[in-house]
Structure 1
Amino acid sequence: MLLAAAIERFRVHLEHERGLSPRTVEAYASDLARMAAFLSRRAGSSGTVDAITTADLRAFLAGEVGRGMASRSMMRRVAAIRALFRYLHERDEITNDPTLHLAQRAARRSVPTIVSEERLRDMMDLPDVSSPAGLRDRAVLEFLYGTGVRLRELVTLDVGDFLPLGERVIVKGKGAKSRVVPFVGRAREALLAYWCDRFALTAATDWKLRAVSRQPAFAGRGGARVSPRTVQRIVARHLRLVASVAKASPHALRHAFATHMLDHGADLRSVQELLGHASLSTTQIYTHVSVEHLKRVHRKAHPRA
């Protein structure tokens, strides 16, 4: 099988069988296309997958390192290559998997900057809730911080995902995996206030919301589903007014959600489930952030610190 055909078949597998997001599929396809371009220029390459060796892959990755590729990007590139050849090996398209002896250096996971609870309280008071746009913006901000969902998860929510109306919402996460996320407090109040205004309801009740269950939970212009770019602008505009952060993005509110939960006594496993992390190691970065916060509090408050 030619490498180009193998990559295309793998791309279809990722999209339709594994249910990965278009963004993830595109990232994998881009990484594999770079590898294919390198191998096509490599002396003696036949263009078939069964002729690719570990030495070929090492040469490609060495070239990427020489170009100054970041450690995290390199990890993703190696992961894409491993996944492709594992897929081919499982389907007997190749006899030997050339990635079995391919070393992978662990990337240093950067610790995110966390916005304080006080700053986020100030931010929630900024939207003008006398206007439909202000009600929507506050609902977006409260929901992101109150649930810790990803940007893509928020924009794909429908009203029906909240029904029967209670204190939970079904979120469709990465890899087409769904999880139940608590929907309480200020986040719930802000979203219901937004819906009452948007759908002209005197009160948000189960039977009234069923009539609009297929409507997007958060709308943009003309009632269409709000775009990821619009949500990014909402967060950036409000967050930059209260905090100095390198990236004023929806993910900053997800970071804050996780860290503040741990600060207030939540256990790591629960936070992992709420965030939809497949691996506990991904969630563990927030324990380092939380410990640093406690150190700062100790240095500031203890008389002999």
Structure 2
Amino acid sequence: MNEITVRNDAQEVFSVDPNEHLSDSTRQRIRESVPESTRRAYAGDWRRFTDWCAQRDRSPLPATAATLAEYVSHLADQDKASSTIERAIAAVTVAHRTADAPPPNSKAARAVLRQHRSELADAGRGVRKAKPVTITVLRAMVDVLDVATLAGLRDRALIVVGFALGTRRSELAALNIADLTLTDEGMAVVIRRSKTDKESAGRHVALPYGSHPETCLVRTMQAWLAALAEHEAVTGAVFRRIDRYGNLGRAPHGRGEADGRLTGQAVGIIIRRTALRAGLDAASAFTGHSLRRGFATETYRAGADPLRIARHAGWKDGSPTLAGYIEDVDRWKANPLTGVGL
């Protein structure tokens, strides 16, 4: 490999001249500037691409434009989501740059992807969106959790506070006990890093007391922190693994961090599992993103200013994603036909 190339969520690529010496710590920091989840996803995408090439006697590196287009068509035949295919194209491109090889021209591959999107739209299966956790849904989910158990206490706090923060699942999983401060007004939370915070400046979020004990973010979090303290867990991760026997944290020889911190993927599993247990319609459509989307739609529906919503949950000002969620509310709340007299 002639250069170190990493790609971050902003699609930026950083290259280092191979003649320049880099210390191990510098190399490690360059590598870790890309979120672990992104590195893991790209590695999986590249492995699947090389396996596909091997089965068809095609060269994965360097790959031709035709090979990439055929692979995209293969993914479309497998009914993969367009976002999944986009990431696969990015993974192939990054792998070539990492190996100091010219990436294949993606024009034909993207033409195939556009047609796949059209086919999905014609079949009534456009962009897949996470189903939002509304207040009604939130209450239904909380009601089925057994808070007499450690897992029930954790899951209630995770769902309620995850909704209240409107944060990404990776940011929720990254919370430490030291990031939470109880105040007279509620709870102050520090989000140390986020996808849109490239400088790692962090953001401070104020969470006021709720009016219902079962869904009050302060009281649900206090109950969970008290349970952690009973297990002598007073520092480190807020949300941790609990095994089938009710034991807290990672098994002695288990995978993951030593304190048993949940992953972003585990957050999504908990949300979907609770939705299924609550018997919600289309429960399988609930994902790790459902809390964030629900926060946006419910707070806007209640009259919150879009700018305050964005800054609370860490969207960039003018975020098209947030605008789309607001539009979902406005198409009914501010429908141009209202009051016409039909």
Equivalent in 57, 76, 97 of residue 65 of structure 1: 76
1:74 and 2:85 matched = yes
d(CA) in 2 for partners of 1:275 and 1:142? 14
Q: CA deviation at 1:78?
A: 1.6
Task: State whether residues 85 and 99 of structure 1, in contact with CA within 8 Å, keep that contact through their aligned partners in structure 2.
Answer: no
Equivalent in 48, 64, 69 of residue 34 of structure 1: 48
- Counterpart code for 1:113: K
Task: State whether residues 82 and 127 of structure 2, in contact with CA within 8 Å, keep that contact through their aligned partners in structure 1.
Answer: no
1:195 and 2:225 matched = yes
- Counterpart code for 1:251: H
Deviations 1:69-116 (Å, cap 9, x if unpaired)?
A: 43232222122223334555xxxx23x543364553465433443343
Task: State whether residues 10 and 84 of structure 1, in contact with CA within 8 Å, keep that contact through their aligned partners in structure 2.
Answer: no
Equivalent in 144, 162, 170 of residue 191 of structure 2: 170
Deviations 1:192-246 (Å, cap 9, x if unpaired)?
A: 233235426xxxxxxxxxx965232134344423645487347633674273233
Which residue pairs with 2:320 in the alignment?
A: 281
- Counterpart code for 2:327: H
d(CA) in 2 for partners of 1:176 and 1:160? 20
Which residue pairs with 1:208 in the alignment?
A: none
d(CA) in 2 for partners of 1:131 and 1:60? 47
d(CA) in 2 for partners of 1:19 and 1:242? 38
Which residue pairs with 1:246 in the alignment?
A: 283
Q: CA deviation at 1:57?
A: 2.5
Equivalent in 104, 126, 135 of residue 117 of structure 1: 135
SS in 1 for 2:190: strand
Moved segments of 4+, more than 6 Å: 8-15, 41-44
Task: State whether residues 54 and 99 of structure 1, in contact with CA within 8 Å, keep that contact through their aligned partners in structure 2.
Answer: yes
Give 5+ residue unaligned stretches, structure 1: 201-210
d(CA) in 1 for partners of 2:132 and 2:5? 41
Q: CA deviation at 1:142?
A: 1.4
When the two chains are superposed, the root-mean-square deviation of aligned CA atoms in Å is 4.3
SS in 2 for 1:25: helix
d(CA) in 2 for partners of 1:69 and 1:119? 28
Q: How does 1:1-305 map to 2 (within 5 A)?
A: 16-21=31-36, 23-40=37-54, 45=59, 48-49=61-62, 52-87=63-98, 93-94=100-101, 96-99=102-105, 101=107, 104=110, 105=113, 108-124=126-142, 127=145, 129=147, 133-162=151-180, 167-174=188-195, 178=200, 179-184=202-207, 185=209, 186-199=216-229, 214-219=235-240, 220=242, 221-224=246-249, 225=260, 227=262, 229=266, 232-233=269-270, 236-237=273-274, 240-241=277-278, 243-247=280-284, 248-277=286-315, 280-294=319-333, 304=341
Task: State whether residues 138 and 190 of structure 1, in contact with CA within 8 Å, keep that contact through their aligned partners in structure 2.
Answer: yes
d(CA) in 1 for partners of 2:334 and 2:196? 37
d(CA) in 2 for partners of 1:180 and 1:223? 29
Q: State the TM-score, normalized to the length of structure 1.
A: 0.68
Q: CA deviation at 1:276?
A: 4.1
Task: State whether residues 157 and 217 of structure 2, in contact with CA within 8 Å, keep that contact through their aligned partners in structure 1.
Answer: yes
- Counterpart code for 2:66: A
* Bigger helix share: 1
- Counterpart code for 1:71: S
d(CA) in 2 for partners of 1:196 and 1:56? 56
Identity among equivalent pairs (%): 23
Q: Say if 1:230 and 1:268 are closer, same or farther in 2 by CA, change over 3 A.
A: closer
Give 5+ residue unaligned stretches, structure 2: 8-26, 118-125, 210-215, 250-259
Q: Say if 1:111 and 1:35 are closer, same or farther in 2 by CA, change over 3 A.
A: closer
Q: Say if 1:64 and 1:233 are closer, same or farther in 2 by CA, change over 3 A.
A: closer
Q: Say if 1:237 and 1:134 are closer, same or farther in 2 by CA, change over 3 A.
A: same
